[in-house]
A = this chain, B = another copy of it.
Amino acid sequence: MSAPDSSEPNRRLKMADIASMVGVSTSTVSRALAGNPVIPQALRERIEGIARENGYVVNQQARGLRMQRTHVINVAIPLGHESGQLISDPFFLEMIGRLADEITARGYELLLSKVAAPEAGWLERMARSQRVDGVLVIGQSDQHEALNATAEWYEPLVVWGGAAEGARYCTVGVDNFAGGRMATEHLLALGRRRIAFLGPPQAPEVALRYEGYREALAAAGVAYDPTLTATTHFTLSDPTEGVRRLIDEGASFDAVFAASDLIGLESVRVLAAEGLDVPDTVSVVGFDDIALARQSVPALTTIRQNLAEGAARMVDLLFRRMAGEPAPSAMMQPSLIVRQT
């Protein structure tokens, strides 16, 4: 008995419904809603008005099928060598947030795929499903080969990570080698000589940081000691064990270069718990400059990656590639942020 609402959403409206309400064909409605100038302004406004009043929204499936584009970007996070299921590193959150801003600003949507245990062909399926117009991969993980294989024929693909050897895919990232060198040089300048390295070296970006570390050691004439390298994942519990292992094995070290801030922060915590004072006894440098690095006590010295710029670059390159222009990889300079550790 209630008066019929202006919007009575019993059934999903299609363009034909709007067309018959206005008394025109779907062609006209389609053109009007697309802002095509061949439709006179008066009529266009009438159509827009009726569409709005009835809460009509274009069916994106149909539109996508006809137009051969979806206005969706796939953001994939491969977790190849991460044992745990969870992404616990805030680095990802900031990156996702920045990418979301950039993608939304261009009128696109973001399809997030967490690729927990990469099966063969995951990236190829992603590229061929035609569900998305482009793919961004955050971190190479151990998927270097898969990336190369797909990049061979799929243009709109941009990867955040290191410029791995033999990579034929487009990467955006900071100069990880330089970052590793800067971190190590900083520790050397503090007088540290026994510098440990903590991180997952299977990931190309970490491998480059590691090379920078060894390069800096060599340049300073400090002998490289393999027992000071501990392999850990990016997850939260793993670095704990990594640091403990170093201590338990009796390795004597006076500094830690951690492959990520999360690993760095955890190292600081474990060292403190073991009675090793940071920074008096042991210095620590992280990588990323996540928000928590600044906030923690003591504040973590780290190598900063500018994610705002990085995300903007990735999206910029991706859209160029989607437009058919070839876009080259980009490398940005990291910077050393000296804090208390």
Chain A interface (Cβ within 8 Å of chain B)? 9, 12, 55-62, 64-65, 70, 72, 75, 85-88, 90, 92-94, 96-98, 100-101, 104, 109-114, 116, 124-125, 128-131, 153, 236, 265-266, 269, 272, 291-292, 295-297
Query: Knowing A61-B65, A130-B61 touch, does A266 contact B291 (C-beta < 8 A)?
Result: no
| Cβ–Cβ contact B295 & A265, under 8 A | yes
In the complex, chain B residues whose CB is within 8 Å of the CB of A60: 129-131
In the complex, chain B residues whose CB is within 8 Å of the CB of A101: 85, 114, 116
Per a CB cutoff under 8 Å, which of B59, B114, B269 touches A100?
B114
**Which residue of the partner chain B has the closest CB to A56?**
B128
In the complex, chain B residues whose CB is within 8 Å of the CB of A59: 65, 129-130
In the complex, chain B residues whose CB is within 8 Å of the CB of A272: 297
Query: Knowing A90-B90, A94-B86, A295-B266 touch, does A113 contact B124 (C-beta < 8 A)?
Result: no
What is the distance, in angstroms, from A18's C-beta to the closest C-beta of chain B?
13
What is the distance, in angstroms, from A112's C-beta to the closest C-beta of chain B?
5
What is the distance, in angstroms, from A122's C-beta to the closest C-beta of chain B?
11
Point out which of A12, A70, A291 has the most chain B C-beta atoms below 10 A from its C-beta. Answer: A291
In the complex, chain B residues whose CB is within 8 Å of the CB of A61: 61, 64-65, 70, 130-131
In the complex, chain B residues whose CB is within 8 Å of the CB of A70: 61
In the complex, chain B residues whose CB is within 8 Å of the CB of A92: 93
In the complex, chain B residues whose CB is within 8 Å of the CB of A98: 86
In the complex, chain B residues whose CB is within 8 Å of the CB of A124: 55, 57
A/B interface sample: 17 pairs, CB < 8 A: A55-B128, A57-B124, A59-B129, A60-B131, A65-B65, A75-B112, A85-B97, A88-B93, A88-B94, A92-B93, A97-B114, A100-B113, A109-B111, A109-B131, A111-B111, A111-B112, A236-B295
Point out which of A55, A88, A98, A112 has the most chain B C-beta atoms below 10 A from its C-beta. Answer: A112
In the complex, chain B residues whose CB is within 8 Å of the CB of A153: 9
Point out which of A92, A94, A114 has the most chain B C-beta atoms below 10 A from its C-beta. Answer: A114
What is the distance, in angstroms, from A46's C-beta to the closest C-beta of chain B?
20
The 9 A-B pairs at the shortest CB distance, nearest first, are namely: A57-B128, A93-B93, A60-B131, A100-B114, A61-B65, A61-B64, A112-B112, A9-B153, A59-B130
| Cβ–Cβ contact B12 & A128, under 8 A | yes
In the complex, chain B residues whose CB is within 8 Å of the CB of A88: 90, 93-94, 97, 291
C-alpha gap A222/B236 in the complex (Å)? 40
C-alpha gap A155/B56 in the complex (Å)? 18
C-alpha gap A12/B111 in the complex (Å)? 21
**Which residue of the partner chain B has the closest CB to A125?**
B57
